[in-house]
Structure 1
Amino acid sequence: MLRIIVYTICLWSLACAAWAQNQISGVRAAPSGDRTRVVLDLKTAPEFTYFSLDNPARLVIDLADTDNGSDLSQADITGDLVKRVRHSTPKNSQSARIVIEMARKAKPSIFPVEPDGPYGHRLVVDLIDPNPGPAAPLASTSVVLDTKNNSRDRDIIVAIDAGHGGNDPGSIGRAGTYEKHITLSIAKYLEKLVNAESGMRAVMTREGDYYVGLNRRPEIARKSKADLLISIHADAFTTAGPRGGSVWVLSMRRADTELGRWLERTEQHSELLGGAAEVISDNASERYLAETILGLSMDHSMSASYDLSQKVIKELRGVTRMHKSSPQAASLAVLTAPDIPSILVETGFISNPQEEKNLNWSEYRERLATSMFEAIKTYFRQVPPDGTLWASQKSRNLIHKVRSGESLSLLAQRYNVKISTIKAANNLSGDTVQIGQELTIPRT
């Protein structure tokens, strides 16, 4: 009889093990803007429920049909919000209970992610932090967002997006170079240049090696009231031959799709339309007005994006050859903010051995960043956003019509400005001016 009982218990244990089809193979957590993202790597698609507990703050996740014996002690955790990820007593023998211990209460947003390339099923937990610490990417950047509470004109905000990151390495070069490291390095060079320029500030969508969702990146830019989003990448191909940079803007078809989505999200109209949204959203017959306003915003952003992308291509030609000589259009999620000019820059083919070598050279990455920065400066000198310091300066600038016998050096002496300042304000590449040419003379 005892043998039968033991045998039955063994069979029951084996059945339970076989029943628990899913397994947790890895856990990681990293801060990203106003939230910390926790990712559970899983063998199959998860079935889950969750609830929060206070004193101390915890998030409890129950995973059905999942092994409860995975090792969570090696979880890769950064930031100050998540203290620990551990197991707890499951609801039943066929499930697993995961507890995320937090330093403070945070609002959870949980969703599964299907396999993508080398990555399998994942359960993503975004913990929205009401009080992000000083290490959070957005909190570390001093940004002037408006003029209401400031005695000076606001800064131009440039959102810089380093492509890929964390468990998404991007393309991998033949020598083992990860795109995510190259893009972050160039982004940090560009950030330094932007922050050193009076009247400009940079916001990074990520400041370290962690993953930020494609749709989350333009959200960070919008939350920071960015005037521009520039996303930095490195291209790749199946063969080593292709090389050169390119600049991409949002395709018209994707723009129309995004416009439709924004129109459906009436609760978010206020993000784009301000006070007018209250009138529009309360009157279904006024939908066409919302469509018109949002359409004009999208048209302006796409036109500005194309203009800027041409300037970036012009500057990049001084550093690298161009794979595409004109801006290219594509359906890219990172470029879908309807009210922010957005471009994506492919800095070269990491799959090309020579370009991979170049991209691993710090001076070359700095030159790429400088070329982007010069294009950004040229663009905003011409069309500075309303309410910014640069717009205020432009309104005070003088317009001088060149007369016979005048030169840049003579004008620089007359108006007590540098020749380089006049050239930058007028996008001049040489020292020659023409009779009758109108020049903007910046006031110092």
Structure 2
Amino acid sequence: MKPPARTGVAIVGGGPAGLLLALILHRAGIESVVIERRSRDYVLSRIRAGVLEQGTVDMLRAAGVGGRLGREGLVHDGFDIAWRGETLHIDLRGLTGGKTVTVYGQTEVTHDLYDALDEAGVPVLHEAEDVALHDLTTDAPFLSYRFEGEARRLDCDYVAGCDGFHGIARQSIPEDVLKVFERVYPFGWLGILSRTPPIQEELVYANHERGFALCSLRNPMLSRYYVQCPLDDRVEDWSDARFWDELTRRLPARLTGTLVTGASIEKSIAPLRSFVAEPMQYGRLFLAGDAAHIVPPTGAKGLNLAASDVHYLSEALIAVYRDKDDGPLDRYSETALHRVWKAERFSWWMTSMLHRFPDTGPFGQRIQEAEFDYLAGSKAAQTSLAENYVGLPY
């Protein structure tokens, strides 16, 4: 396929945010081109979150990619928090008036979006090199890049930066314009993927004196488990046997009997950070997803927050092309950040409550215990947790 020389919206980044934006715009009759520096196989090999808010599920269905999600996605009505050898059940459906979350891996979401874009004929250019953004503050921005060994140029009306934390989009905003807010946490998550049945049908978040643990899943025969670990640990330090032993220590006795262990098929250590860049727009460049913000994975807000950005950005772009109304696009950053900061707060709160912090001392530990005791005894507190977990309204 010969790359187009012009399009309406140039989308930098071929992850779920960029692909979903391209599909929604296509359904609205707006042309776009997706530029991705990695291969399709690489994008599809990335292991990421698998808990979708109701709003994200609704967006995917509205975009026409809800078929396999509806057949294979696992609807969860709640989850457990393990503490002091016991578990507290958070009834998401009951506390939120019927709202739920759906377990469906990010890789599967990406597969579905690729298939839909292929069918629609929307260009997705992989392995594009040396991507640069130009003239962003004019009415004629463009991208330069190399594709299949040749220098290329893509003229456009707008640029959507969906290329992640390390991408070029945010770096294209001048330093004197961009404000960055960040907290780096003093630990990481060691995660493994195993072809074993999950410990139970719903997720388990665990706080233990040895550190945090999470029992999650991708499907009935693919489990995802995590344990909190020091930042200087290496994957090579953790054999499968050591991981299973540590996970077992951090779980209540009623759960360890149902834990099925097995060989890991993927193992990695992820650092945790909270990060927000403001503003999320500069001239005709608009940031979405990890390009603008990062949340710790506690509470599974990363992909869902990217989806809410795409909701606001797609609505704003449709208003421009369909109604000649620039107002929503001018307010995009303000609108998106209003929800971003609420999700950042929730992810920080869950992380603070469930992890062991090496520098807070006995006082911090007592505060953490009081927080859990309050949660366990207060329906109002549980409702607040549930409302944030299933996703705040757009």
* TM-score, scaled relative to structure 2: 0.26
Of the two, which has the highest radius of gyration? 1
Question: Which structure is higher in RCO with an 8 Å CA cutoff and minimum separation 6?
Answer: 2
